[in-house]
Amino acid sequence: MSTSETSRFVRLRVELVVEVEDENALTKAALDRIAEDPEIPSGERAHAESAVTEDTAEALAYLVDPFDLVSEVPGVDLAQASWSSEQIDYDPDSPDWDLDEDDDAGDGGEKTG
């Protein structure tokens, strides 16, 4: 397939597992971000503050921005993004957490590490 026949759009899938070592610091940072964000309407601000206070995963979601991941990549413009977070039980020794499980043989497009 020539370059003119291929799509200019690429779906980049990233899965991260992070360990929250200080829930209070994470919650405070999320509350600070909400307080500083002029685009959050006042009616939604109380809901957002409640969500990040009650759920560490929500606090993290308020602080992680997919735009930040690609904003400095030359020649790339973020067309669309969605993300979610959830608290999980994590066992790094379990085969269920093999990050390579979704790799297709020969796709050449996914990197883990």
pLDDT > 50? residue 8: yes
Q: What is the pLDDT of residue 83?
A: 86
Q: What is the pLDDT of residue 102?
A: 54
pLDDT > 50? residue 105: no
Longest dimension (CA), the chain: 52
| Domain-embedded: residue 66 | yes
How many structural domains comprise the chain?
1
Please give the model's pTM, rounded to 2 decimal places.
0.69
| Domain-embedded: residue 35 | yes
How far is residue 80 from each of residues 8, 17, 57, 66, 83, measured CA to CA in Å? 13, 22, 22, 9, 11
pLDDT > 50? residue 111: no
pLDDT, tens digit (0-9, with 9 covering 90-100), for 46-90: 999 999 999 999 999 999 988 888 999 999 999 999 888 888 888
| Domain-embedded: residue 80 | no
CA torsion sign for 16, 54, 49, 27 is negative
Range list of β-strands (E), the chain: none
| Assigned token pair, 89 | 């039980």
Range of the domain at 37: 23-72
